[in-house]
Every structure is written in structure tokens, then in C-alpha cells.
């Protein structure tokens, strides 16, 4: 096993020490790789893949996820959750796992912006892309560790970086440990409590798109299955997917 894969394995802890991990120097997208390998029957869940850089990194809502070498952690985890599990719970467990891992290794405390973006000092430092496939779910995680030399491209939006010295392979293993622990017990009560405590949109006015129209609403909470509870002039609703904003790139409250 490669030295970097050993670091991932060590951080996974004894419970998950035997699961396959692979660290690539470059790939198209770690999510795409796991999707293809699983479809071809070459791998089975659980499986952890990292890459130093991605040539076709993908984000939510069809966006590109810029993934240069040397500044970020790009990883995907293939899991085989129970067939009836709610997608929202996987999302919550993933966001909480990344938050806990970053806090454990750096002392920094990112905040969670529903659904599953992590913010630090008002800037997005991590995005998560969960994709369902025939044989399970792939959870892709991109963490900005350093600001790239030329800065973040405009398409990255309100992007920022942790800007701390951290071993990205130790971070990958620690994230996977928290996430796999959560998926094993499916103890979402604990994760939801953590999620709510670190989700500062509660009590704020947000904007979101519905039926191609921009709407605004007050966030009243997060439901037990990870939905965003909102209130507007038509009553109470729960958002299950999509993206919300605090308005004109103003994420200073996060
Ligand atoms: C988002 O912010 O919209 C989600 C970004 C997810 C990026 C990660 S990087 C590792 C994995 N591979 C991908 O192509 N995307 C995810």
C-alpha cells in the first residue's frame, strides 16, 4: 500500500482499518471514478478514493468544481446504505462528519449552510455532492485547504479556504471515519442536534428558487430528516433540495 493510503487508513481507526482506500494523483472526478468502478463490478462498498487534482470535478446543480493540485482535498466515499434510508439523512451525516473532522484536526469550527456547504469566516470552504447509483450512494467531498495562487475563479462564488497546515490524507481518513461511524449506527438524532447547533440560517430571512421564481422566507428550523423548515406568507413549508441564500452574496453571518 502507498504511504499516503497508509495515512488515510491510520486515520480511519481500527474499526474501518481494513476497508479499501486508494489515493490517485490525478483523475477526472473521484465521484465519476467510483460510479464507473462500481458499475463495472470492480469495487464494492465501502470504498474511499482521493485525488490530488481533478480534471472534471463536479459540483451540485451541474456546476463545475475547480480542483487544482496542492490546494484542496478531493475525495469520495462509496457506501451501501439501507434501501429505505432518507437521502436527507445521508446529507446530514456527511456534513456533520466533515465539520467534526475539521474541528478535530484543526480546532476550527466551520458552520453548515443548508443543505451541505461548509462555511468559515463567511466563505465556502467545502462542498458535498451525494449521488445515488444502483449499488449504493457516492458521497463526494471537496475541501479548500489553501487559497490557490491566483485566487479562486469567479465561478467558485464565495469560496475561501481553511488556510491551516493540515495533512489532507489524515483529514480524508478522519472524515471517512466519522461518516462511516454515522452510517453504521444511523444515529441521526446526534447528527441532527450537531447540524442544528452549527446551522446559523435558523431565524434568518433567506431567498430560494421555486417554480423558477425567487421567493423569500424565514427559516424556522431543520426537520429530523434534514429538511429546511421555512415560513412565508403562504404558511409553513419544508424544503428538501435546492439552494438558499442570505441575499446578494452576503454570507457574512456564516
Ligand atoms: C458543491 O459544492 O456543489 C459540491 C462540490 C463537491 C466536490 C467534490 S470533490 C470530490 C468529488 N468529486 C467530484 O467531482 N465532486 C466531489
Nearest Cα to Cα of residue 42 among 51, 50, 34, 31: 34
Average pLDDT, integer, range 38-57: 97
Confidence at 249, pLDDT banded by 50, 70, 90: very low
Q: 236 C-alpha vs ligand 1 centroid, how far in Å? A: 31
Nearest Cα to Cα of residue 222 among 243, 209, 240: 240
pLDDT at 223 over 70: yes
**Angstrom distance (rounded) from CA 95 to CA 81:** 16
Phi-psi region of 226 (alpha: psi -120 to 50; beta: other; left: phi over 0): left
Strand partners, 74: 51, 142
Mean pLDDT of the chain: 93
Average pLDDT, integer, range 140-154: 93
**Angstrom distance (rounded) from CA 152 to CA 147:** 7
Average pLDDT, integer, range 202-213: 90
Matching residue, cell 409553513: 236
pLDDT at 85 over 70: yes
- Contact assessment for residue 64 and residue 154, using Cβ atoms and an 8 Å cutoff: no
- Contact assessment for residue 46 and residue 79, using Cβ atoms and an 8 Å cutoff: yes
Q: What is the pLDDT of residue 20?
A: 98
Residue ranges lining ligand 1, Cβ < 6 Å: 29-31, 54, 57-60, 63, 65, 74-76, 117, 127-129, 140-142
How many other CB atoms are there within 10 angstroms of residue 221's CB atom? 16
Pocket test of ligand 1: the residue of 35, 49, 55, 74 to mutate, having most ligand atoms within 8 Å of its CB, is 74
Q: What is the pLDDT of residue 127?
A: 96
Q: Counting Cβ atoms within 10 Å, is residue 132 exposed (0-12), middle (13-18) or buried (19+)?
A: exposed
Cell of 234: 403562504
- Contact assessment for residue 91 and residue 140, using Cβ atoms and an 8 Å cutoff: no
Nearest Cα to Cα of residue 75 among 161, 8, 140: 140
- Contact assessment for residue 89 and residue 188, using Cβ atoms and an 8 Å cutoff: yes
Asked, as a colleague might, if the bond just before 46 is cis with ω within 30 of 0, I would say yes
Q: What is the pLDDT of residue 252?
A: 63
**Angstrom distance (rounded) from CA 239 to CA 80:** 25
Higher pLDDT, 214 or 11: 11
3-class secondary structure, 126: strand
Cell of 14: 481500527
The half-sphere exposure of 221 on its side-chain side, counting CA atoms within 13 A, is: 6
Higher pLDDT, 210 or 27: 27
Atom nearest to 30 CA in ligand 1: 12
Q: Structure pTM?
A: 0.95
Pocket test of ligand 1: the residue of 47, 53, 65 to mutate, having most ligand atoms within 8 Å of its CB, is 65
pLDDT at 250 over 80: no
How many other CB atoms are there within 10 angstroms of residue 159's CB atom? 18
Q: What is the pLDDT of residue 146?
A: 96
Q: What is the pLDDT of residue 209?
A: 86
Amino acid at each position: 500500500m502507498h504511504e499516503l493510503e497508509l495515512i488515510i487508513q491510520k486515520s480511519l481507526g481500527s474499526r474501518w482499518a481494513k476497508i479499501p482506500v486508494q489515493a490517485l494523483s490525478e483523475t477526472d472526478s473521484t465521484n465519476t471514478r467510483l460510479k464507473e468502478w462500481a458499475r463495472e463490478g470492480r469495487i464494492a462498498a465501502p470504498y474511499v478514493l482521493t485525488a490530488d487534482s481533478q480534471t472534471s470535478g463536479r459540483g451540485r446543480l451541474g456546476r463545475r468544481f475547480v480542483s487544482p493540485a496542492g490546494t484542496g482535498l478531493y475525495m469520495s466515499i462509496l457506501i451501501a446504505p439501507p434501501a429505505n434510508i432518507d437521502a436527507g439523512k445521508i446529507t446530514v451525516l456527511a456534513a456533520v462528519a466533515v465539520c467534526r473532522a475539521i474541528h478535530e484536526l484543526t480546532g476550527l469550527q466551520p458552520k453548515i449552510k443548508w443543505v451541505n456547504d461548509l462555511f468559515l469566516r463567511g466563505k465556502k470552504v467545502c462542498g458535498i455532492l451525494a449521488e445515488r447509483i444502483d449499488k449504493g450512494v457516492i458521497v463526494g467531498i471537496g475541501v479548500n485547504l489553501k487559497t490557490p495562487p491566483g485566487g479562486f475563479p469567479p465561478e467558485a462564488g464565495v469560496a475561501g479556504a481553511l488556510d491551516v497546515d493540515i495533512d489532507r490524507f489524515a483529514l480524508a481518513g478522519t472524515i471517512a471515519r466519522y461518516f462511516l461511524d454515522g452510517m453504521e449506527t444511523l444515529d441521526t438524532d446526534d447528527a441532527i442536534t450537531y447540524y442544528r447547533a452549527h446551522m446559523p440560517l435558523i431565524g434568518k430571512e433567506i431567498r430560494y428558487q421555486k417554480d423558477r421564481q425567487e421567493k423569500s422566507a424565514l427559516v424556522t428550523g431543520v426537520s429530523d430528516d434534514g429538511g429546511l423548515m421555512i415560513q412565508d406568507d403562504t404558511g409553513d413549508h419544508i424544503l428538501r433540495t435546492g439552494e438558499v441564500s442570505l441575499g446578494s452574496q452576503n454570507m457574512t453571518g456564516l
